[in-house]
Amino acid sequence: MPARAKLFPVKHVIALDVGGTGMKAALVGADGTLLHEARRATGRERGAEAVVESILGFAADLRAYGEEHFGESAVAAGVAVPGIVDAENGIAVYASNLGWRDVPMRQLLGGRLGGVPVALGHDVRTGGLAEGRIGAGRGADRFLFVPLGTGIAGAIGIAGTIEAGAHGYAGEIGHIVVRPDGPDCGCGQRGCLETLASASAVSRAWAAASGDPEADAADCAKAVESGDPAAVEVWRNAVDALAAGLVTALTLLDPRTLIIGGGLAEAGETLFTPLRAAVEERVTFQKLPHIVPAALGDTAGCLGAGLLAWDLLSTEVSA
Ligand SMILES: [Zn+2]
């Protein structure tokens, strides 16, 4: 493959998805082809500055890889980061798991990548962009992407783009209060959706109910499938809370497609069958969206970062 690529320079962008512990990267062609994939640790145990340096070094290595194997260096880069992101100004504002504050990521990356345009995105919204455009929501003009992982977040898709809100907080469905007297949430409220229906919340509830501190949400799903009544109850509580939160969201947003991802969605129909029924039971006048599992798994953020980079080039050409 490298020999062929050297003969025919391949135009490509750098796509980088920064998670808490690991980074996923790709070189992506204009038609969305993944030309090269790589992973690397963030090195967060060495502090926020080391993480930023890891990101910059990884990006520079990807640029060099492109030059060597595809005959030219990347024409743009897209980077997805966790926490609070000021996408417009290219600043990674805050990430609790990486410890940084106000990192001018776009400027730093641009400097390291020979001045090519760089797009910065929020991890969930960037993953949502990919799910909506090339994943489970393909073709849907209005969608909502909700990953159920350590927490619960959301990405609101409107006509091929993601709505970030006036201050970059749109879509935080995990902090809709569904049980006012429920468990304390890290945000300061009580009974937020993510304290009841995230993969972590189900893991905690099932560890307590089963008496096995190591038991997690996937174990709970298996126990549900084998008919364990304690597991069925834990699962039902989570599905009820999730349906309540989702109905609030679809009442406000009227999405055509509701894409559910993250660790909990890996339970497949064990989740989706009761979830669809619970949502249907709650709606009155609202139109039911298609409720579907995410299709891109943990590559969504990286693929979305590639889309951001290509979008940036098409905007520059047309502007
Ligand atoms: Zn909360």
Domain spans of the chain, in order of start:
12-125+299-318, 138-295
C-alpha of residue 165 to centroid of ligand 1, in Å: 18
Distance 16 CA to ligand 1 centre (A): 28
At residue 319, the pLDDT reads: 42
> Which numeric CATH code is attached to 12-125+299-318?
3.30.420.40
- What is the distance in A from the centroid of ligand 1 to the CA of 190? 7
pLDDT of residue 5: 47
Fold match flag (12-125+299-318 vs 138-295): yes
pLDDT digits (tens, 9 = 90+) for 177-224: 999 999 999 899 999 999 999 999 999 999 999 999 999 999 999 999
HSE (CB half, 13 Å, CA atoms) of 195? 18
Low-confidence ranges of the chain (pLDDT < 70): 1-7, 316-319
The CATH number given to 138-295 is 3.30.420.40
Centre of ligand 1 to C-alpha 63, Å, is: 39
Q: Residue 174 C-alpha to ligand 1 middle, in angstroms?
A: 6
The pLDDT value recorded for residue 7 is 58
User: In this predicted model, what pLDDT tens digit does every residue of 24-44 receive, in sequence order?
Assistant: 999 999 999 999 999 999 999
How remote is the CA of residue 310 from the centroid of ligand 1, in Å?
34
Kindly give the distance from the C-alpha atom of residue 71 to the centroid of ligand 1, in angstroms, as a whole number: 48
For residue 169, the model assigns a pLDDT of 85
- Supply 271's token pair: 């989740």
Q: Judge if pTM exceeds 0.75.
A: yes
- In the block, tokens 């009544």 appear at 229
Distance 194 CA to ligand 1 centre (A): 7
